[in-house]
Structure 1
Amino acid sequence: MSADHDEPRGPDRCVGPGGRYELLKHHDSGGMGDVWQARDRNLDRVVAVKFLALARLAGVHPGGEREAELRALFDRESRTMAQISTPYVATIHDRHTEEGDPFLVMEYIDGSPLANQLGESPLPLERTVRWSRQIAEGLAAAHDKDVVHRDIKPGNILITHDPGDVRIIDFGLARFADSTESHTGAGTPLYTSPERCRFESGDERSDLYSLGCVMYEMMTGWPPFGDRKSHPAALARAHQFRPPTRPGAHVRGVPGPLDDLVMTLLAKKPAHRPRNAHVVIRAIQEVERAPGVMEQSAPGSAQRQTPHVNTGFVERIRDTEQRIRRLTLQLGRQHDEVLKERADLAALTGRSGDAWGAAQLYEKLGNDCGAWFGRQDRRALDAFEEMVRWIEGRGAN
């Protein structure tokens, strides 16, 4: 039964040799096919099964010969993808064909897309730096195997619920899509490199450009060009010809070296970007290691440290994030224990070197408490008072 047939696959159906994989829950459908949560009956573990709809992907010239070519390409791509070994890329376990449609069996990731955490305000600096480095490490491992993603975007970057790390998904599938007649080579317009906008194949530096777009959105709250309502042609022109505004010109609290790195990643010409992902990793590590320098913005004003990330706080921040998630699931968002942990996370964020990140977290906490309990509630007022302290540079005192 092809994914293009009217009768959908249903739960409790088993696919693969000997019915090894039991489909449990449908997760997503897209232009390339369907994704299911499934159970590997041989190993008794949960996996993700991604079906590719060959009849749809074959485009205007479907048929046995064309579909055979695509199936052979899929076999080559899946073998290459399976060679990527890193904690930051979803692992490929197996591949098979079910009634004409090939499918991948992948690591099941208990998490949610990075896209779910973007769009309201900048992420805290520690989180931005941590996830940017992990994405770069995933790209480096893939590029070392000559695998280019070609569609790096927040939707293809999952954040695990525990311990809150990156997993990049769909490596190699964009190249497979490029070879079909129903897809263009442009990828996702908000995050597409200039050369990919010109329908060139691109290389690892195209992935680095897309990483720059993702980092820009983490740092500012929006992509370097346009938004999700922008016309793809307008976005393509912007990527090719419009210089981006520095992230630090949009928001306060961006370390200069991180600002410089993103602008280099967003260079129009691939040759002007970092040579490879390993260079990006080292640049991010320098931001992590850089100490804060005390500065005084105006006579008589409080001293503050330049934005930086003190890596001594990383594990404590991550542990606090996990406690917030677990307590929220157990007790609900409005419980005092959850609110206390959120306040602790804001304080740790500030003490790690990100005063503006701390202020934003306290502001969100204050707004939530005000909405739930009233603007004059002590919890809301305390959060706003702490927000002001970090803005004025008195938060660590």
Structure 2
Amino acid sequence: MDTSKLIGGRYKPQGDPVSGAMGDVWAAEDMRLGRTVALKLLARSRLTQQGVPTEFSEWTVKRFKREGPAMARVNHPHVAHIYDTGEHDGELYIVMEYITGRSLTEYLKTGPTLTLERTVRWTREICEGLEAAHSCGVLHHDIKPDNIMITRQGEVKIVDFGLASFADATQSHTGAGTPLYKAPERWNDDLGSVRSDLYSVGCVLHEMLTGRTPFGSAQDAPMAVGRMHQDDIPAPPSAHRPGVPDQLDAIVQTLLAKDPAHRPKSAEMVAETMREIQNTLGAEELTGADRQADLPDAPGSDTRLSRRIRELDRRIFDLEIRCGESDQSVIEARMEHAELTGQSGDARGAAALYNRLGHDCQNFFDPYDVRVLNAFEGVARWIARSNKQ
């Protein structure tokens, strides 16, 4: 693409694109409104065989043209907004909300197992965004960590409705989707439904809780993974991560039901379950051995505790950008985050956060630095508490 020209007469690409098999995504400046946007272009040349369009390339072009209208029908804080669509020099483009943050994939790959509080909160927000899409008759068809962005404010944004189809559509490319997260019925030429998206949510929730997908790995052949989705019964998350509450085990098992009729009827039902679990996590602290006085700012208050953890997510993100990961303010914020995680009832999550911090501090400072010793003391303390639960 010639980046010296304004795309659509108003969008100026900046920096280097993030490239994929089907196209590129650029940060761009909207010269008319003076804001940064995400500019997604479909590279048709990559979808041909020696310059000749294929059935798959033609389907992909149709899919890309559908992405704009599909996303435009959804208006929700947890779904990336679409601003514009068009064609430039024979290439199709979509202009979307620019999200400053990281994908859920990055959180899963670079950090310890997510805390229960963060896992439950993000799952609730994913389902709230999906409910908004489903209520507009839009299915996503490719819910996975790559398509879930976490903003600087620590909130979920669902992106890439490129595989979306309207719920009343009579035809779809049923081969679409990512094998590790694809519902059993969609391996059998089924168009999929609201409950197919919820199955994918179950796969993502399982991965957030355990660090692994319920079936197979990225190294396995797609059809082998497909057979696992259709035939195998996964072990509950608590089998991989002791301390996972029974409620989370139950909702994962329900979401991963082979028969769509046995899954929840709507994303809102799952979101409501997540809200109940959030309250339960807070209540566990209030009834625990370390219960504090019921003061206005007591960390044991379920809503205040969740809000403080969320605020720390944002603060740590901002501090790392402004001050660097080894700055003392970042270390202190991460220690506070680990403590609040433990107070929320997630002792193993607190130990994991402290363990990650301890190893980071070893890399930043002297191995015997007091910050290293304090972090590993936190590991031992919260592991001891988890063993008593």
Q: 1: CA distance between counterparts of 2:130 and 2:187?
A: 20
Matched residue, 1:127: 118
* 1:388 CA displacement: 1.7
1:210 matched to 2:237? The reply is no
Note the alpha carbon deviations across 1:117-175, whole angstroms, 9 max, x for none: 114532011110111011001100000011001011100111112x1111111124354
- Which amino acid in 2 is paired with 1:251? R
Report the alpha carbon displacement of residue 361 of structure 1 after superposing the two structures with TM. 0.8
- Give the RMSD, CA atoms, in angstroms: 3.3
Look up the match of 1:30: 20
**CA pair 68-314 structure 1, distance change in 2 beyond 3 A:** same
User: What secondary structure does 1:14 align onto?
Assistant: coil
Compared CA separation, residues 73 and 121, structure 1 to 2 (3 A):
closer
Q: C-alpha displacement at 1:337, in angstroms?
A: 2.0
Equivalents in 2 of 1:326, 1:55: separation in Å? 39
**Gapped regions of structure 1 (runs ≥ 5):** 1-8, 297-301
Amino acid paired to 2:380: V
Match of 2:41 among 38, 43, 51: 51
Rounded to whole Å, the distance in 1 between the matches of 2:59 and 2:200 is 29
Residue 39 of structure 1 aligns to a residue whose secondary structure is strand
**2:241 maps to 1:251:** yes
Can you list the C-alpha shifts for 1:249-274, whole angstroms capped at 9, x where unaligned? 11022111111101111111111110
User: CA 1:247–1:172 in 2, change beyond 3 Å: closer, same or farther?
Assistant: same
1:101 positional shift: 2.1
Letter of the 1:132 partner, please give it.
Answer: T
8 Å Cα contact 1:114-1:159 kept in structure 2: yes
Q: How big is each residue's C-alpha offset from its partner over 1:211-257, in whole Å with a ceiling of 9 and x where there is no partner? A: 11111111011111122212212111111111011001110221111
**Residues 279 and 259 from structure 1, CA distance in 2 versus in 1: closer, same or farther, beyond 3 angstroms?**
same
Partner-residue secondary structure (3-state), 1:173: coil
Structure 1 residues 330 and 269, CA, compared in 2 at 3 Å: closer, same or farther? same
* 1:283 Cα offset (Å): 0.8
Residue aligning to 2:134: 143
359-368 vs 327-336, which deviates more? Answer: 327-336
Please give the alpha-carbon distance, in whole angstroms, between the structure 1 residues aligned to 2:306 and 2:27.
32
Cα distance, 1:295 vs structure 2? 12
Whether the aligned pair in 2 keeps the contact of 1:12 and 1:24 (CA below 8 Å) is no
State the TM-score, normalizing by the size of structure 1.
0.85
Aligned amino acid, residue 329 of structure 1: I
Q: Identify the residue that residue 41 of structure 1 maps to in structure 2.
A: 31
Question: Counterparts of 1:384 and 1:66 in 2: how far apart (Å)?
Answer: 53
Q: Could you list the per-position Cα deviations for residues 324-376 of structure 1 after superposition, in whole angstroms to 9, with x for gaps in the alignment?
A: 22222233222222211111110111112211111111111122223333443
Aligned equivalent of 2:254, options 255, 264, 269? 264
Tell me which moved more, 343-352 or 377-386: 377-386
TM-score normalised to the size of structure 2?
0.87
Which residue, out of 179, 182, 191, partners 1:189? 179
Kindly provide the amino acid, as one letter, of the partner of residue 14 in structure 1: L
CA contact (8 A) 1:47 1:106 kept: yes
Amino acid in structure 1 at the alignment position of 2:338 = A
Question: 1:4 aligns to what?
Answer: none
Show structure 2 runs of 5+ residues with no match.
292-299
In 1, are the aligned partners of 2:338 and 2:350 still within 8 Å (CA)?
A: yes
**Aligned letter for 2:277?**
V
Overall identity of the aligned pairs, in %: 46
Residue 385 of structure 2 aligns to a residue in which SS? coil
Assess if the C-alpha contact under 8 Å between 1:151 and 1:187 holds in 2: yes
- 1:380 match: 372
Using a 3 Å threshold, how does the CA distance of structure 1 residues 295 and 349 change in structure 2: closer, same or farther?
closer
Secondary structure, aligned partner of 1:15 = coil
- 1:220 matched to 2:210: yes
The answer to whether residue 240 in structure 2 is matched with residue 242 in structure 1 is: no
Please identify, of 214-223 and 51-60, the stretch whose mean Cα deviation from structure 2 is larger: 51-60
Aligned equivalents of 1:312 and 1:249: distance in 2? Answer: 31
Counterpart of 2:87 in structure 1: which amino acid?
Answer: T
Q: Which amino acid aligns with 1:121?
A: P
Aligned length: 375
Q: For the Cα contact (< 8 Å) 2:347–2:382, is it kept in 1?
A: yes
3-state DSSP of counterpart to 1:150: coil
Identify if the C-alpha distance between structure 1 residues 71 and 237 changes in structure 2 by more than 3 Å, giving closer, same or farther.
Answer: closer
Check whether the contact 1:185–1:201 (CA below 8 A) recurs between aligned residues: no
CA contact (8 A) 1:313 1:348 kept: yes
Question: In 2, Cα distance between the equivalents of 1:29 and 1:247?
Answer: 34
Paired residue for 1:341? 333
Aligned partners of 1:67 and 1:229: how far apart in 2? Answer: 25
Q: Which amino acid aligns with 1:128?
A: T
Q: Distance in 2 between matches of 1:40 and 1:294?
A: 48
Residues 284-313 of structure 1, C-alpha deviation per residue, up to 9 Å, x if partnerless?
Answer: 1110122544899xxxxx9589xx993321
| Structure 2 CA distance for partners of 1:73 and 1:265, relative to 1, 3 Å | closer
Say yes or no: does 1:273 pair with 2:263: yes
CA distance in 2, matches of 1:339, 1:65: 53
Q: Secondary structure of 2:214's partner?
A: coil
The 2-side partners of 1:328 and 1:64 are apart by 46
Contact 2:174–2:190, Cα closer than 8 Å, also in 1: no
Question: One-letter code of the match for 1:352?
Answer: S
**Alignment correspondent of 1:323:** 315
1:227 is paired with a residue of what secondary structure? coil
Match of residue 68 from structure 2: 78
